[in-house]
Structure 1
């Protein structure tokens, strides 16, 4: 969990405008290393995620945010409430699928995780492995795709408060 928080702090420092949040993420990174229980780790990770996503929009260029009318108040998984969340959901799903294939190719049980619970059809080990790579791989791709104009709000459909990425937005 410490590495995940470190990667979030690094991405926010490089692309965002939130030095106070970066400092707090570095403190949480150190605290994760000294956590005494899984419950403590989950609490630290939740605090770090809240601070990171609170400042996520600062990683997008102000011109892009204004021109596209982008907003990002809170991280929402299902359903995604805005295009940024929809793009994050897609990138996390693709990253998890790659991790799952790698775990199976190595002959490991994808359901035997450490941090994630292994519920019905939940690849807990793949989800555990993905945590460290969310910010440097998935989040950075989403930030760059919006900043470079590769993803635009017109690439998404929003119906009844749910945002979904369309065919044009999924094309390479």
Structure 2
């Protein structure tokens, strides 16, 4: 059953700058939220979406780095990241900061430990694109955005666009 996608919260909404709370229990409400987040991620043509991006400050994200032609979303509840490898620079975008792409420096490999929607613990490892997606989404759970990882040059390049987003946010009364 397809539902209307959730509204994606935009920069500079305060929920995006707040560390998300642990999920207490995996229940039907959480499963429904995760399913709607997956639909929203695909509708927005994203590869990941964190709960704070849909206005829920909880430690949950969904991701589908699209290593295969078929959809293969994974739900991560209360994830923990272990990072390793050399720092690599790669261009990133964010559904909460549309039309802005910046170079972000991150470790090249990650191991993620999380709970699934059955309440079972699992672990995944990647030294590719998936590792970057997990780190990006995990940043959302920590209240960090790509704007926090911008180089001074990118800050200058995107200064006007970010200022306009802040002004739009204020004009709309913080919504």
- Relative to its length, the structure with more strand (as a share) is 2
TM-score by length of 2: 0.27
- Relative to its length, the structure with more helix (as a share) is 1
TM-score by length of 1: 0.28
Q: Which structure has the bigger radius of gyration? A: 1
